[in-house]
Amino acid sequence: MFLSRIPQPFVLSRLAAFACALVAAPAARAAVDFEKNIVPILKAKCYDCHTGKKTEADKKPKGGLALDSTSGILSGNVIEAGNPDESSLYTRVILPQSDDDVMPPKKDGTPLTPVEIAAFKEWIAEGAHFGKAGSAPAGPVKQMTLDEVKAMGLKEPNPDGVRALTDLGATITAISVTTPQLLAVEFISGASLIGDDEVKQLMSIAPNVVELNLARTNVTDEGLKAVGAFARLTKLNLNNTKITDAGLEHLVGLTGLDWLNLYGTSVSDSGLASIAKLRNLKAVYLWNSKVSDEGVAKLQKALGSAKVVDKVWSESSRFDLEDL
């Protein structure tokens, strides 16, 4: 054997050195877990002043910042994932107690301990993930059917999903202080960069989306397959997009949809058959599409008192709730 040619003392000394190296190697440090390591600190040191409103009668959280929900933390812009030094959630707690901006304020709470401060810093440096420790979203978001989304209970939106969508340029807001689980999503800037792949990323918060503005994006009929699974969707803006009659077929299961904007699309009379199945619609905008007067009259008859607009309309990129 090869080893038989090597002096035995040499072999033993090398093996001993290797064994010592294994023993001396430090164990990998466990990732910071948001629920186990961060939430208890927030409860003890932050919730007194930064708890979101649960009813209209509740006081607003100081500075409008709610730290008792992941959506509140994200919308508060207090963390820059991967960069503690640019995250006010961390930089404000390490200020001297004499500083007016220190958190918690000297008169309102007990300062964070060095261990708690280190936990904040490590959590943010690791990416500020809200799921289980070390679980970062990877790869495409799993696509679901309408029935699968319907079967999901309403709970707080996936925070890592919200952050990923925000990074794509989405503006995500709760539609009410009393129902922060229900979200409005729109792409105010950079709409031209949003296509079917980005729309499919919305599936991570599908149970929570009730208002969706895809105006001027590059969504096509393929992207509407995902939109058709948003079981709680009530308002959908598709103006100036590339969707066609075929894409509208994906929306027929959205029984709660009450507002639909198809201004500036290539939708024709053929697509109106799908729209006619959405009996809860209260407003449909079809101006500058390819529908005929006859098609509009037929749709109006099917939808009863709904407003069907096929003439000049003062276009808006947001939802015109007064039309409801």
Q: What is the dihedral of CA 317, 318, 319, 320, to 10 degrees?
A: -80
Q: Where are the domains of the chain?
A: 34-125, 146-323
Residue 31: the pLDDT is 85
Is residue 3 pLDDT above 50, yes or no?
no
Contact 279, 256 (CB under 8 A): no
Please choose, from the candidates 182, 141, 134, the residue with its C-alpha nearest in 3D space to the C-alpha of residue 164.
141
Is residue 260 pLDDT above 80, yes or no?
yes
Decide: pTM greater than 0.85: no
Is residue 167 pLDDT above 80, yes or no?
yes
pLDDT, tens digit (0-9, with 9 covering 90-100), for 193-210: 999 999 999 999 999 999
Residue 303 burial (C-beta neighbours within 10 Å; 0-12, 13-18, 19+): buried
Residue 203: the pLDDT is 95
Is residue 15 pLDDT above 50, yes or no?
no
Rounded average pLDDT over 80-88: 89
Residue 109: the pLDDT is 76
Is residue 21 pLDDT above 60, yes or no?
no
Place of tokens 């010592």: 20
CATH fold of 146-323: 3.80.10
Residue 166: the pLDDT is 85
**DSSP symbols for 115-141:** HHHHHHHHHHHTT---SSTT----SSP
